[in-house]
Amino acid sequence: MRPTHENMEIVFLGTGGSWPTVERNVAAVAVKRGSEVLLFDCGEGTQRQFQRSRLSYMQVRAIFITHLHADHFLGVTGLVQTMRLNERREPLDIYGPPGTKDLMTMLLSIGKSRGQFKITITDVKGGAEIPFEGYTVTTREVRHSIYALGYALAEENRPGRFNKPRALELGVPEGRAFGQLQRGESVTLPDGRVVRPEDVLGPERRGRKVAYTGDCVPCEGTVDLAKDADVLIHESTYASDFADANTYGHSTAAQAAFIARTANAKRLFLTHISPRYTDARPLVEEARRVFPESYEARDLLEFIVKFPSDEDGPSAPEEPAPAPAA
């Protein structure tokens, strides 16, 4: 078992639905874990949103597209072109629903330039598990107007807490041997006795989990995806006074909150806000009546996801850093 120590930070690069507005760009959520960035959806203009944030688009390890509506994938071409012009060498993986490979292959063939690097495009369906070092990204089919996926990033379990007094009692010398045991390796003492990790470690502790629904109406897939998530990022395109929300394949803020409560999520971020709302406070208010730990996702908002056992209790997200002057 590989210990998980990397910091994890969510940066909302685009939180609007359908088309960009002055206040919000279209869908894009970055999760920075250690030195790599995973990008969930990539609406038009995402590369500029990266430049306004403290993240680097050159650190993007993989892109996960929820569905093939333009406001969720149209930024991939510009982002990849920017990477090429900056002479990227590291490979890039792109995942999305069936049809993604053909579409992206066609789009990325436009305007090829210097700095070519390997791009692997993979079509996936609900139920797929995509392994990475230290974590897995899983998919579920969600209900929208076209075939759509939600994604969840779940880390591997961490070793239990290290019992230093017990280790010393067993004769383990401080230093390198402590580190070996914490990494899950047995230690042989000078007298030949073997101390195993389970002798000095408590029960395994779960890693962090972030779920992202993409566009959808409430369904079993989103509940399953968000089960026990530390953070659920759920679309909430409309307030409940818009009667046709589900007809258009979207959720209300109250419905997003219901999913969070049902799935036992710790926090909910409301995103994909319709351009009809220049003030999203009514959406947050209706969500909090159902699920108190509901927050508005705003462009460039940053949130650090702590390990579950390190939490002292729910906390509000940080304000986004000021955007640099144009």
Identify whether 71 is a catalytic site residue.
Answer: yes
| Nearest residue to 226 (alpha-carbon basis) of 210, 237, 215 | 210
Q: Rounded to whole angstroms, how far apart are CA atoms 74 and 95?
A: 14
Torsion of the alpha carbons at 70, 76, 82 and 88, rounded to the nearest 10:
180
In the 8-state DSSP scheme, what is residue 26?
A: B
Per the rule left: phi > 0, alpha: psi between -120 and 50, beta: everything else, 255 is alpha
Residue 4 phi/psi, 5-degree rounding, is -115, 110
Collect all residues with Cβ–Cβ distance below 8 Å to 249 and sequence separation of at least 6.
Answer: 143, 144, 145, 215, 216, 217
Q: Which two tokens stand for residue 181?
A: 């045991």
Q: Among all chains, which residue has been given the structure tokens 């390997």? A: 118
Exposure b/e, 220-237, CB count within 10 A at least 16 = b: ebbbbbbbebbbbbbbbb
Collect all residues with Cβ–Cβ distance below 8 Å to 321 and sequence separation of at least 6.
Answer: 53, 54, 300, 302
Among candidate residues 41, 71, 215, 230, the one labeled active-site is: 71
| Nearest residue to 18 (alpha-carbon basis) of 211, 268, 215 | 215
Q: Rounded to whole angstroms, how far apart are CA atoms 326 and 321?
A: 15
Question: What residues are annotated to the active site?
Answer: 71
